[in-house]
């Protein structure tokens, strides 16, 4: 579809005209020519009209003045009588005064003068006979020439003097020369010509302006359609065009090699969530700048959306250099300095590579494969991964689920179920553990095992944990408002615990929900502690200071060094249910449970047993001095509203778990 639209766009004649300077200049030249021609034509027309008017005047004057006073015999020798001359003079004077004519003369055919108006008595015709014969209109015998009288321009019109009927006149006896004032006519023609030229120039200027504005708007619109408005990088559509062009180039020359990189920032959501979207935007702009600066001008950088970028390396000597360049790019990205609101931020990313033509010649396929490789990189905890077909089949389903999970978090498709914990001796309710589920639109309610590990290895763990924490804290506040003081325990993945912003975001979250730290408990695993013990201790101290209690979950299955356990600021050990559920039938399980209880107590920790399914196990743990219990015997994890009903029933029966 996109391909069609690009094609259409390029074929649009208006676009072709506006985007090419040659076409645009050509068009303006042609238009100028046409306008010039029209103006000249109009000028000639007004000149013709002016001459026609002058001729009409001359004919009327000749009729009115000459024919009244001068007869055919005057042309053959007789002289004008004194009276005739006086009448002529008087008539001509009136017409000259009114500026109808500039003068009047009457000539015999031989060139001798019969009459010349008083002011300018010419002695002989200023136009020699031969010349007059050459210039005159052969059919009418009329002749018009430019002349002058005094300082004024005139149009001198020679009318043949004939007698007899109009359709059969006698031979020419001579000429009546009417001098019509030329100045006014010329001024009029010049005036209208000037107006015409002015209008034409204005028309051309406006047209040029309109074309330039249209051109600018078109280019701007096309530019916007191809670029990401935030970073100014190319957008997904433009990248596809570039990919297509590269594929086409490769088809022509098989020695050409290129690579498509999909790059996704790690932990970007945390920046958005803790510092706000404008800060996230500012970081993206800086990342875009670093990317552009780190690459050659021939490489193409695009933003695919969110924190996902793509790079098209258009000229590669070999496949190996794609990986080398990607690693260099990642290194530059990591050492780049990024700061938002004066806060220094660290940037890390995962890069997936698809090679052209090795991994495909289709835009969508290449994008998908680079994407798959990028997710593989994420799962391997960041870095650069080259697309590998062998892993793809598995990845496509995982990828699908990942995409869906991302959406599920945004669309609130996740739900929390809560499982109560109680004191083993008194049966008093001591809190609940929040356990996440996914209300999948087609697969039904999914347990955490199906999607938490997936999220754990991708950028989705942070938004997932954030969602669970927010929901759990909000729920604790709702229960508190109902008079139910139920601390909610939330499971933290190792990544989330070691996230440098954890304490700050928790503080913001608690403040927002108006909840004190003692209503929140975090369950962490041994893995989280052992991944980076120093950092874990620092984070735990911060949590401690906020009054948030921390439990080590599934204790016993990991490898916590007792040295660290001694110095860890935690409050609770949760014995893994692997040692609890069957402890009565497996003495080794019981021995481990017993040791953990002893160890915990000696370190001053609260010990909780999870996975209690029978009364007997409950009693046994109570006898071993274990502090709290959690398991199907007490209750299965349940939705929040069911929990309220469950607590009410339990209170009404007055704590039946005590014996
Ligand atoms: P967990 O933290 O050890 O949670 C206890 C698990 O044991 C829950 O399984 C619970 O339903 C199950 N359970 C409780 N009592 C009994 C019992 O008497 N018998 C048996 N057989 N099982 C019992 P669930 O809900 O399937 O959760 C599994 C794991 O998924 C959790 O283990 C936890 O590690 C993880 N998880 C759950 N929610 C979250 C979450 O929001 N974030 C993270 N990071 N992990 C979570
Ligand atoms: Mg847990
Ligand atoms: Mg557990």
What is the percent of the chain with per-residue pLDDT over 70, rounded to a whole number? 90
> 632 in ligand 1 pocket by Cβ < 6 Å?
yes
What pLDDT is attached to residue 397?
A: 63
The encoded tokens of residue 172 equal 């020419």
Helix (H, G, I), strand (E, B) or coil at 492: coil
Expressed in angstroms and rounded, the spacing between residue 575 Cα and the centre of ligand 3 is 7
Maximum separation of any 2 CA atoms in the chain, in Å: 165
Mean pLDDT of 218-230: 85
Whether 327 has a pLDDT exceeding 70, the answer reads: yes
pLDDT for position 657: 47
Q: Which residues of 297-316 are buried (b: 16+ CB within 10 A; e: fewer)?
A: eebbbbbbeebbbbbbbbeb
Q: What is the pLDDT of residue 486?
A: 95
Going from the Cα of 442 to the center of ligand 1, the distance in angstroms, rounded, reads 23
The reply to whether ligand 1 has any atom less than 6 angstroms from the CB of 242 is: no
Q: Provide φ and ψ at 338, rounded to 5°.
A: -130, 130
- CB distance 455 to ligand 1 below 6 Å: no
CA dist 181 to 153, 194, 302, Å? Answer: 6, 21, 77
Nearest atom in ligand 1 to 417's CA: 25
558-610: pLDDT as tens digits: 666 677 788 889 999 999 999 999 999 999 999 999 999 999 999 999 999 99
Q: List the alpha helices (DSSP H) in 81-181.
A: 82-97, 129-135
The model's pLDDT over 605-627, given as tens digits with 9 standing for 90+, comes to 999 999 999 999 999 999 999 99
419 lines ligand 1 (CB under 6 A): yes
Any ligand 1 atom below 6 A from CB of 564: no
Ligand 1 touching residue 475 (CB < 6 A):
no
CA 323–ligand 1 middle distance (angstroms): 40
Phi, psi angles (nearest 5°) of residue 162: -125, 165
Most confident of 50-54, 399-403, 430-434, 552-556: 430-434
Q: Which pLDDT does position 656 carry in this prediction?
A: 45
Interval 517-539 mean pLDDT: 87
According to DSSP H, which parts of 433-586 are helical?
Answer: 448-456, 461-481, 494-498, 502-513, 526-531, 533-545, 562-567, 577-580
* Ligand with minimal distance to 414 CA: 1
- In this predicted structure, the answer to whether residue 350 has a pLDDT above a threshold of 90 is yes
List the residue whose alpha carbon is closest to atom 43 of ligand 1: 491
Provide mean pLDDT across the span 262-266.
93
Q: Examine the pLDDT at 643 and tell me if it is beyond 90.
A: yes
Q: Which pLDDT score is estimated for 5? A: 44
pLDDT confidence bin for 539, thresholds 50/70/90: very high
CATH of 397-653, one of 3.40.1550.10, 3.20.20.450, 3.90.1170.50, 3.30.565.10: 3.20.20.450
Predicted confidence at residue 523, as pLDDT, reads: 96
Spatial distance between the Cα atoms of 359 and 542, rounded to a whole number of angstroms = 48
How many angstroms separate the alpha carbon of residue 578 from the centre of ligand 3?
9
Q: Which one has a higher pLDDT value, 15 or 415?
A: 415
The pLDDT tens digits of the residues spanning 548-564 come to 999 999 887 766 667 77
**Interval between CA 266 and ligand 1 midpoint (Å):** 27
Mutate to test the pocket of ligand 1, among 491, 609, 632 (most ligand atoms within 8 A of CB): 491
Question: What is the tens place of the pLDDT at every residue in 354-381?
Answer: 999 889 888 888 988 898 899 888 877 7
Residues sharing a CB contact under 8 Å with residue 511, sequence separation 6 or more, in sequence order: none
- E strand or H helix at 353: strand 349-356
Where along the chain do its domains lie?
Answer: 35-190, 236-392, 397-653
> By mean pLDDT, which of 55-69, 459-473, 534-548, 618-632 is the weakest?
55-69
Over residues 403-410, mean pLDDT: 85
Q: Closest ligand to 556 CA?
A: 3
Does 343 or 189 have the greater pLDDT score? 343
Instruction: Give yes or no for residue 611 CB within 6 A of ligand 1.
Output: yes
Q: Which ligand is nearest to the CA of 636?
A: 1
pLDDT computed for residue 2 by the predictor: 35
Atom in ligand 1 nearest the alpha carbon of residue 496: 44
pLDDT in tens, 418-429: 999 999 999 999
Question: For domain 35-190, is the CATH number 3.20.20.370?
Answer: no
Rounded to 5°, the CA angle 156-162-164 comes to: 150
Atom of ligand 1 nearest to the CA of 630: 15
With a 6 A CB cut-off, is 629 part of the ligand 1 pocket?
Answer: no
For domain 236-392, which CATH number applies: 3.30.70.270, 3.90.226.10, 3.20.20.70, 3.40.718.10?
3.30.70.270
279, 340 contact by CB (below 8 A): yes
Q: Select, from the ranges 171-185, 272-286, 635-649, the one with the highest average predicted confidence (pLDDT).
A: 635-649
Give Cα separations from 433 to 58, 523, 554, 604 (angstroms).
117, 9, 13, 22
419 alpha carbon to ligand 2 midpoint, in Å? 10
Identify whether the C-beta of residue 239 lies closer than 8 Å to the C-beta of residue 302. Answer: yes
Region 441-454: what's the mean pLDDT? 86
Report the range out of 104-118, 137-151, 289-303, 561-575 with the highest average pLDDT: 289-303
Q: Which of 435, 612, 633 to mutate to test the pocket of ligand 1 (most atoms within 8 A of CB)?
A: 435
Provide the strand spans (E) within 50-120. Answer: 103-108, 113-116
Evaluate if residue 462 carries a pLDDT over 90.
no
User: Which protein residue has the closest C-alpha to ligand 1 atom 38?
Assistant: 435
Kindly give the distance from the C-alpha atom of residue 480 to the centroid of ligand 3, in angstroms, as a whole number: 25
Instruction: Check residues 61 and 504 and name the one with the higher pLDDT.
Output: 504
State if residue 637 touches ligand 1 by the CB under 6 angstroms criterion: yes
Atom of ligand 1 nearest to the CA of 525: 34
**131-181 confidence digits (pLDDT tens):** 766 777 878 888 888 877 777 788 888 888 876 666 666 666 788 888 888
- Distance, CA of 332 to CA of 345 (rounded, Å): 14
Contact 470 CB / ligand 1 (< 6 Å): no
Q: How far, in Å, from the CA of 507 to the mean position of ligand 2? A: 22
> How does residue 119 score in pLDDT terms, banded at 50, 70 and 90?
low
522 CB near ligand 1 (under 6 Å): no
Looking from the CA of residue 493, the nearest atom of ligand 1 is: 44
Q: What pLDDT does 658 receive?
A: 39
Atom 22 in ligand 1: residue holding the nearest Cα: 611
Instruction: Out of 522, 610, 632, 639, give the residue to mutate to test ligand 1, the one with the largest number of ligand atoms within 8 Å of its CB.
Output: 610
Is the C-beta atom of 551 inside 6 A of ligand 1? no
- Report the nearest atom of ligand 1 relative to the CA of 554: 3
Mean pLDDT of the chain, nearest integer = 85
8-state DSSP, 78: P
Q: Which ligand is in closest contact with the Cα of 496?
A: 1
Distance 632 CA to ligand 3 centre (A): 13
């Amino acid at each position: 579809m996109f391909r069609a639209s690009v094609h259409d766009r390029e074929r649009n004649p208006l676009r072709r005209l506006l985007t090419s300077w040659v076409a645009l200049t050509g068009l303006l030249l042609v238009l100028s020519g046409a306008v010039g021609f029209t103006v000249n034509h109009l000028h000639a027309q007004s000149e013709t009209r002016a001459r026609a008017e002058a001729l009409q005047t001359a004919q009327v004057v000749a009729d009115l003045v000459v024919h009244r006073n001068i007869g055919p015999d005057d042309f053959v020798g007789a002289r004008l009588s004194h009276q005739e001359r006086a009448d002529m003079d008087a008539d001509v004077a009136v017409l000259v005064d009114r500026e109808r004519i500039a003068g009047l003369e009457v000539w015999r055919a031989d060139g001798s003068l019969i009459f010349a108006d008083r002011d300018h008595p010419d002695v002989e015709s200023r136009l020699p006979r031969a010349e007059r014969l050459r210039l005159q209109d052969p059919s009418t015998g009329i002749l018009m020439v430019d002349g002058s009288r005094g300082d004024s321009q005139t149009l001198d019109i020679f009318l043949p003097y004939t007698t007899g009927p109009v359709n059969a006149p006698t031979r020419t006896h001579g000429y009546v020369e009417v001098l019509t004032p030329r100045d006014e006519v010329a001024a009029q023609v010049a005036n209208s010509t000037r107006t015409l030229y002015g209008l034409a120039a204005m028309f051309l200027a406006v047209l040029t302006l309109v074309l330039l504005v249209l051109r600018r708007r078109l280019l701007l619109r096309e530019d916007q359609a191809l670029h990401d408005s935030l970073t100014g990088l190319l957008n997904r559509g433009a990248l596809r065009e570039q990919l297509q062009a590269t594929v086409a180039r490769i088809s022509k020359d098989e020695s050409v090699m290129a690579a498509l990189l999909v790059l996704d920032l790690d932990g970007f959501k945390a920046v958005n969530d803790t510092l706000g979207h404008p800060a996230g935007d500012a970081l993206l702009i800086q990342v875009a700048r670093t990317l552009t600066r780190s690459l050659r001008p021939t490489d193409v950088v695009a933003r695919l959306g969110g924190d996902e970028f793509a790079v098209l390396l258009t000229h590669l000597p070999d496949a190996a250099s794609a990986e080398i360049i990607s690693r260099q790019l990642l290194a530059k990205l990591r050492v780049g300095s990024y700061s938002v609101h004066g806060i220094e931020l660290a940037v890390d990313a995962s890069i997936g590579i698809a090679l052209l033509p090795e991994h495909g010649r289709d835009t969508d396929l290449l994008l998908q494969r680079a994407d798959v490789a990028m997710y593989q990189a994420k799962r391997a905890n960041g870095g650069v991964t080259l697309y590998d077909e062998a892993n793809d089949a598995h990845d496509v389903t995982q990828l699908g689920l990942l995409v869906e999970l991302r959406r599920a978090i945004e669309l609130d498709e996740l739900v929390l179920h809560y499982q109560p914990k109680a004191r083993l001796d008194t049966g008093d309710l001591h809190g609940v553990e929040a356990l996440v589920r996914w209300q999948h639109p087609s697969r039904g309610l999914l347990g955490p095992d199906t999607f938490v590990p997936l999220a754990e290895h991708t950028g989705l763990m942070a938004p997932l944990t954030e969602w669970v924490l927010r929901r759990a804290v909000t729920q604790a506040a709702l229960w508190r408002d109902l008079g139910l003081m139920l601390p909610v325990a939330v499971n933290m993945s190792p990544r989330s615990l070691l996230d440098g912003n954890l304490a700050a975001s928790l503080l913001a979250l608690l403040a927002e929900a108006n909840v004190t730290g003692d209503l929140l408990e975090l369950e962490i695993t041994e893995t989280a502690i052992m991944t980076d013990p120093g950092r874990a201790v620092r984070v735990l101290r911060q949590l401690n200071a906020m009054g948030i209690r921390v439990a080590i979950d599934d204790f016993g299955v990991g490898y916590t060094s007792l040295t660290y356990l001694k110095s860890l600021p935690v409050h609770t050990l949760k014995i893994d249910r692997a040692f609890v559920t069957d402890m009565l039938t497996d003495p080794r399980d019981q021995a481990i449970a017993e040791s953990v209880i002893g160890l915990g107590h000696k370190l001053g920790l609260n010990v909780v047993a999870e996975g209690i399914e029978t009364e007997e196990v409950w009693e046994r743990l109570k006898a071993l001095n274990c502090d709290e219990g959690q398991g199907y015997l007490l209750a299965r994890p349940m939705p929040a509203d069911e929990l309220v009903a469950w607590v009410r029933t339990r209170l009404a029966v007055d704590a039946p778990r005590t014996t």
